[in-house]
Structure 1
Amino acid sequence: MDSLESLVITRRLRVPLEPVEAPAGASPEWGGVAARQLDAALLSVGFTCSPALLERLTRLPGQAVMDLGVRVLATVRGLVGDHVRHNAYFVDFPRNVPDTLEFWAGLLREALLDPVAAERLRPGTLDLLTLPRYGRYQHAYADLLAAHAELIPLAGDRVTVLEAGGSLAAEARDLYFSLAGSEAPPAAEDLAALRLLAAFCAEEPDRIPVRENRAVVNEARLAAGRPLLVDTVTDVLRLACACSGGDVTLAVPTRFRSFRRAERRALLRALDTVASPAKLGDVPRHREPWKRLGERLHPHEHPRFPRAAQVFEVARGVRAAAGLDSRVEAALAAGRTADAVTLLASTPGALLRRLDHLLRTAASEADVLGAAERALPGASGRVLLSLREHLQNRLAPAAGRLFTNRYGRAWTATDSRPPLAEKILTRALAMLDEEITGRLPELGELVVDPDLLDVALPLSGKSVVPGLGMLPRGSVTAVDGELLRFFVHWRQAARRTDYDLSALMLDASYGDAEHISWTNHANGFAEYSGDLTDATDGASEFVNIRLAEATRPIIIPQVHVYAGERFDEAAEAFFGYMTRDAAQEGRPFEPRTVRMKSDLRGSGQVALPLVFLRGDDGAWRVKWLHLYLKGYPGFNQVEGNQAVASRLVRTIVERDHLRVRHLAELMRAKSSPGGPVTFIGLQAPADLPPGSRVYTPATLHELIPA
């Protein structure tokens, strides 16, 4: 139950409360005292109870409030990154950071004067790890606290409001329905949350559009002996992967477990119901997983399911089955675009995903647009919005094309596509907007927080790790504060692990590079907290930037795996940033000034979470990247990936992402004053009337029409 409660709090910022009243004879003030104590403790890490939550807490028994408070405080401290001690290599950071050459010369001098250390220095080589004071904390955390004054609280500090929730069962159900019914492909963390919720909740949403989500829900259905939700053969393959603890996206091979006879029968029955000749063409795309699954399901033992046996015959090459994709590719390769359009007419989503290619190769663009218009009603809302974003970026030549995989690994390529006619693009965009508007529900009064207008629509959540203040890739928000400080914390699992926090700083043309890292501790406006090379008990690094003095308008934080475990191998690894005013002192890490924090993951060796940009008006903004570079197996440095990182960042910064602003404009056509309020914002106000519908970053995916 505690894990469910924590999940609801971190995902929805709501505290589940059971309808429990104080027992007879209990002090009426005891619950109120405990509630105020909890609120004061929450404020120390940048959270507070809403008036409704405080009022509900005061009606509970005091001991129940205390027990709940311990769990809530532990959850939000983990959400903001305050569950660990953030020490710094330089105890006075950001003050008294030594010059880089002076620092290295001092360490080397100490090593030469130390007979034991001097013996470890080999002639002609310099191993940094052999220097006595390098890469390890030289003071205790208590010494760091003593060296820094208390943080001066200011009105600009982050205060995140925790709302009063319903019962744990009701809150878990709402979260389950939201995640399972999402139109956007989920992150790995979302799938893990969905698995936990599916095992707890008895009800299910009527519609589960994303195949990965459906596989997780089917896993719970199979365990309960309920009918499975499948309409393609690949749905059954994903379910088998889910039951084996494998990858339901089918990107990584799964080692299938041995299935019980009842499970084999259920999987083969489901397969038999969907294995029509038209759908057998999907089997060759995953030929090897099907072969391995057949060895576990023993289809020859179940002659009642002959069509299921045909699936494995196709996988083994005994039976031929040409898939739609192969036939479409053959038609396009032969220059028969009209035939490809005819083939794709039965799969509206596939046709729209290929629309750019079809328009470029067709003899008649009007015929292709006509086919696309007929396909619009049969495609999902996410496909329509994704195509809208793609086509609006074809109105002007692009500096390059950005490609990312499900892990956030990114690469660029030169855009060699011929341009599309503006008349064609304008018509296609109008068609899309008309279809999207028609799918939006009738609204009452629409209220949109201006701070959310430039947030990108969550068309895919695969590379976005849930956390505090997280927004979809391409989102732009203001940076408030005079000091910017980003941080990384990691703890190794089994071997020495060295991560390096760095900052690449570029001019407006993405050149004239400058950096802050372990090879350059400071410049005129930034300081580095010092390099740590061992994280047995955890390690933290910081970069502090005085924004008003910055001589570069583009600042790209980076986290490099220099040695040891990857981000997804470490026991813990997370990144975030803080902002504060110049007058504020405080420790290197102050939870109430944290604006964003999330885990690092993925197989890439270099993380590019976001980029800070100074506009022509002098104001700083942050744009979310969620990117990872492949990097090298070890010894990654900011100097080594400057060209790749700058090219990637430029491509995503210059891309015109589809934002809340555009969808809000379409929604206004369906709104009318006087009805229930629909609010879209970073955080819901307290004075909304009953019956209002609220969309925050945590539920922004619910805006995407079906």
Structure 2
Amino acid sequence: MAPTTHAPDETLAALLLRRLSSVAVAPSAPGLRDDAWLSARGVAALEAELADRGHVLAPPLARALAALSPADLAVQGSLLLHEVDRLLGNDRPHIPLFRGFPEDVPEHAHSLYATRIHALLARQPFQPCVRCGRVGDIVELPSCAHLLCSRCVADLEYCECCGMRLGLPTAAPTSREEPPADTPPVRVLHLLDGTQDAALTALLRILTGRAVPPTPADRADLDTLLRLADPAVVAAALPAEIPVRETRARVLAALLPDAASDDLLARHLRSATDVLRLLVAWSGGEPDLVAPPRLRSLPRRLRRTLLRLLDGFDPHRLVEDLRRHPGLWKRAGELLHPFEHSARHPRAALAFAVLRGTDPFAPGLTLAGDVLPADELRLVGGESTARLTFHGWGAQVERALATGDLLWALELLRRRPGELVRRLHQLLRWGAPEVVEPVLADVLPSVGVSALLAAWGRLRALSHPLDSTRVVFPRGRLAAAHRLDDWGVPVSPAQAHGCCRLLEAELLRRWATADWEAAVLDAGLADLGVPLATRQTSRALVELPRGSRQPLPDAMRLRLFLHWVQPPKVRVDLDLSVALYDAHWRFVGLCDYTHLVHGEKAAVHSGDFTAAPAPHGATEFVDLDLAALRDGGVRFALPVLFSFNDVPFDDLPVALAGVLGTEGPRAAFDPRLVRQRFELSGDSRVSLPLVLDLEERELLWTDVQLPAAGGAHNVWRYRDRLGRLGRDLFLHFAPGRQLSLWETASRRAAAGAGTVLVRQRDGSVDLFRRGGDESSADFAERLAFPAVADGQRLTESDIAQLLRGKRVLAVLATGDLSPALLAESSGALFRGLPGRVDAVPVARVARLSASDLLPSEATDE
């Protein structure tokens, strides 16, 4: 696979810790021990260190660690602390430029500029020590370039001329005696149940069985599993169906050429594009075909297998697929040599002849005359200059739609069910739902879940008054967002109602395969988005779909941080900035390297680092006083991350940012307070990760990037563009305009469980039971948000009694549910934010991601 800058090779232990919050403990060598007391004290010290990082050990894990010898415990504990620090971003020092941050920060960046000019002047030849006046034995400080004698350097921790720290940074200690006032819920670490090989196999099946394109984190984890696992184990663990084509190509490329049998390739490669993805993945590139690498040569046996597969595909689809990526297929043809075997594989040879415009009468080229109908394949020119042309499926669809022939368009689209569903809104604009619905009902079982959910979400949102404005996230290497004004013929909710019912019925049918005895849902799921556009999402500590909303911490101050390390011999200047807007998205002010303080310290910047040499790098902070900002007329705060000197994020060995909750002047970076930590990636120089709504006290996770060039990036330059993008994203992800996890989770529960508990926003729990003759659709309708109970409200003892011994699906927005309620249950759990429910053993209740909540039947089209 192509190397990922921000995802270095992980060990399996690190992956299990991040994915399952589980730790594998290899027992010490057997024998009599008289040092158990020492191991017990070591576990107590380890628990104290983990508590400083907001983590605790589950009792089974604590007992397994205490059974280790002191030497083994020291190794295991050190590795565990390192991995926890890496997850939180605490594996490196985070020291602000101004040591008194946030109190002692100059209100104007001009003072910082003046100190830099002073430093430049102090670097002139024959200068005395700027502190004591001594001449000779002068050294240049690496942090600010001031000239001090060796005696003064030994006595100082900070430069008295400019306030910058001297030497290597050291992390400020945190206090265990005074826990922060807004400490988030602790994260529970569990003992891995079973062997690491079994966990590897289970994770492999989860990642390959998902029905939506993999996120960057999923891709990196899958690469790690494929790298660590034996190819025979991988081939045996693969599910019968891998829904996503990119995942298929990634897995099969890892098995080539030895472990991938012909039967395995024939089972998973179903189109020419699948073959092309495999060739790209085999060559070390990403199988999304956005930026393919130079293709590698193929072993002869593999080349013959792929040619045989290509020849077996439908010739219409084969030619169409080759013409979709002509340049890349021409390079692939140089490796496959299709014309050398034209008699054996005539369809493959003909498809490449169409692609290249090759003379079909060339010597040695034998083509079957009945491969394609004469009305679709024509010869242009005389026999001596003949060239093949092909009028493909896509062109026919466009012609049918342009001429208004809806029946012809539907007949053509019936061949490509996924494309029909993606064009469903366009087809309904003809105002003939009675013609579209029968065709839609026939093809739905063959449509991938991403296309199903996208169409369902758009048609359900037609009643929204702002439906003419949309934000799209185009596929590519950049997680960009673009605003579209749709001035086409509007589709009324009445026209879309029948198609919505068909889409919902198909989803219910797929979800009905799950066997749940009860389900626990959270009304707060309405604030979380459905993971659809997942290819270019950031690797984050708390992985939530784009468009999700989270409540801001109870603390009145919020601290943002940005840390990066520059590559060797390249200076990189990243900047953490905040753009401020009022309720009407009018620009109010900013807080960045040019304006270190906004208002009466309502927003305070820690100071501008212009370089981040290895190994320690540099960190910038911005403190936001939420109450002071609101009082100053600010409603929306947009944290923005800039690469000032135009170095893309992907070129950095380390680039991460995040959010801390804080109440007062504690240590600049306290790992216990980390709410979110995410990595910067992509060929981008400007990132808008989130939008803060101070009036509703919500954080909207946007995770988008802005294409930019030219350098010298700052908020003032982009203030209008940022405001428009922030407003468009805020409206695009407004409640009701997009599918939420509540809509999908409630229907999954209605399809697979007869008893559903709904935890309302006020903490009360309502009981819903499915009637004996009630359909899944009717039950889902009764669960529609906001849910109204048809039974009594339950106490915690009632809930525990109801769930005891049952297989339960729990889908929660926050993990603050009491773990005692699931203590005697089995099943699966999704929670958006960590909380008390994380204490439920992973061995009893499996952990799900948002992607795991979607149905996995059918393949992507």
TM-score by length of 2: 0.75
Partner AA of 1:436 in structure 2: L
Whole-Å Cα distance in 2 between the matches of residues 24 and 450 of structure 1? 54
Correspondence 1:426 to 2:506: no
The equivalences for 1:371-390 within 5 A come to: 371-390=439-458
Whole-Å Cα distance in 2 between the matches of residues 135 and 661 of structure 1? 57
Partner AA of 2:521 in structure 1: V
Whole-Å Cα distance in 1 between the matches of residues 160 and 432 of structure 2? 68
Correspondence 1:482 to 2:559: no
Partner AA of 2:292 in structure 1: P
Task: Work out whether residues 152 and 586 of structure 1, in 8 Å CA contact, stay in contact via their aligned partners in 2.
Answer: no
Correspondence for 2:521:
448
Partner AA of 1:677 in structure 2: V
Correspondence 1:493 to 2:521: no
Correspondence for 2:243:
209
Instruction: Identify which of 606, 615, 622 aligns with 2:699.
Output: 622
Whole-Å Cα distance in 1 between the matches of residues 68 and 345 of structure 2? 57
Correspondence for 2:88:
80
Whole-Å Cα distance in 1 between the matches of residues 191 and 123 of structure 2? 63
Correspondence 1:678 to 2:802: no
Correspondence 1:171 to 2:199: yes
Correspondence 1:355 to 2:424: yes
SS in 2 for 1:296: helix
Correspondence 1:692 to 2:827: yes
Task: Work out whether residues 250 and 278 of structure 2, in 8 Å CA contact, stay in contact via their aligned partners in 1.
Answer: yes
SS in 2 for 1:279: helix
**RMSD (Å) for aligned C-alpha atoms:** 3.0
The equivalences for 1:159-558 within 5 A come to: 159-166=186-193, 167-199=195-227, 200=229, 201-202=233-234, 203-223=237-257, 224-226=259-261, 227-228=264-265, 229-274=268-313, 276-302=315-341, 304-318=344-358, 319-360=388-429, 362=430, 364-396=432-464, 397-398=466-467, 400-405=469-474, 406=476, 407-440=478-511, 441-480=514-553, 481-494=555-568, 495-523=570-598, 524=600, 525-537=602-614, 538-551=617-630, 552-558=634-640
Instruction: Give the count of matched residue pairs.
Output: 690
Task: Work out whether residues 492 and 565 of structure 1, in 8 Å CA contact, stay in contact via their aligned partners in 2.
Answer: no
- Residues 351 and 137 of structure 1, relative CA distance in 2, 3 Å threshold: farther
Which shifted more, 373-382 or 142-151?
A: 142-151
Report the alpha carbon displacement of residue 111 of structure 1 after superposing the two structures with TM: 5.8
1:233-288 superposed Cα distances (whole Å, 9 cap, x missing partner): 11110000001001200111321122222332333333333354433321100111
The equivalences for 1:126-145 within 5 A come to: 138-140=164-166
Which shifted more, 76-85 or 312-321?
A: 312-321
Whole-Å Cα distance in 2 between the matches of residues 518 and 29 of structure 1? 53
Task: Work out whether residues 314 and 320 of structure 1, in 8 Å CA contact, stay in contact via their aligned partners in 2.
Answer: yes
Task: Work out whether residues 517 and 528 of structure 1, in 8 Å CA contact, stay in contact via their aligned partners in 2.
Answer: yes
- Residues 137 and 501 of structure 1, relative CA distance in 2, 3 Å threshold: farther
Task: Work out whether residues 502 and 515 of structure 1, in 8 Å CA contact, stay in contact via their aligned partners in 2.
Answer: yes
- Residues 702 and 517 of structure 1, relative CA distance in 2, 3 Å threshold: same
Whole-Å Cα distance in 1 between the matches of residues 273 and 177 of structure 2? 55
Correspondence 1:23 to 2:30: yes
Whole-Å Cα distance in 2 between the matches of residues 64 and 148 of structure 1? 27
Partner AA of 1:643 in structure 2: D
SS in 1 for 2:623: strand
Report the alpha carbon displacement of residue 63 of structure 1 after superposing the two structures with TM: 3.2
- Residues 512 and 188 of structure 1, relative CA distance in 2, 3 Å threshold: closer
Whole-Å Cα distance in 1 between the matches of residues 318 and 672 of structure 2? 54
TM-score by length of 1: 0.91
Whole-Å Cα distance in 2 between the matches of residues 422 and 157 of structure 1? 46
Partner AA of 2:592 in structure 1: S
- Residues 195 and 268 of structure 1, relative CA distance in 2, 3 Å threshold: farther
Correspondence for 2:651:
569
Whole-Å Cα distance in 2 between the matches of residues 513 and 253 of structure 1? 44
Whole-Å Cα distance in 1 between the matches of residues 527 and 520 of structure 2? 15
- Residues 146 and 245 of structure 1, relative CA distance in 2, 3 Å threshold: closer
- Residues 218 and 320 of structure 1, relative CA distance in 2, 3 Å threshold: farther
Report the alpha carbon displacement of residue 109 of structure 1 after superposing the two structures with TM: 7.0
Instruction: Identify which of 673, 679, 684 aligns with 1:599.
Output: 679
Provide the identity percentage. 30
1:515-565 superposed Cα distances (whole Å, 9 cap, x missing partner): 111111112311001111111231111110011221312111000111052
Report the alpha carbon displacement of residue 613 of structure 1 after superposing the two structures with TM: 0.9
- Of structures 1 and 2, the larger Rg is shown by 2
1:390-413 superposed Cα distances (whole Å, 9 cap, x missing partner): 223322224732122343122223
Which shifted more, 368-377 or 659-668?
A: 368-377
1:85-105 superposed Cα distances (whole Å, 9 cap, x missing partner): 112111111111101155256
Instruction: Identify which of 666, 685, 690 aligns with 1:586.
Output: 666
Correspondence for 2:41:
33
Correspondence for 2:134:
none
SS in 2 for 1:89: coil
- Residues 316 and 275 of structure 1, relative CA distance in 2, 3 Å threshold: farther
- Residues 2 and 382 of structure 1, relative CA distance in 2, 3 Å threshold: closer
Partner AA of 1:659 in structure 2: S
Which shifted more, 263-272 or 36-45?
A: 263-272
Whole-Å Cα distance in 2 between the matches of residues 311 and 134 of structure 1? 74
Report the alpha carbon displacement of residue 137 of structure 1 after superposing the two structures with TM: 8.3
Whole-Å Cα distance in 2 between the matches of residues 339 and 136 of structure 1? 75
Whole-Å Cα distance in 2 between the matches of residues 654 and 134 of structure 1? 49
- Residues 586 and 264 of structure 1, relative CA distance in 2, 3 Å threshold: same
SS in 1 for 2:90: coil
Correspondence for 2:768:
none
Whole-Å Cα distance in 2 between the matches of residues 263 and 429 of structure 1? 45
Correspondence for 1:126:
none
Which shifted more, 284-293 or 413-422?
A: 413-422
Task: Work out whether residues 539 and 678 of structure 2, in 8 Å CA contact, stay in contact via their aligned partners in 1.
Answer: yes
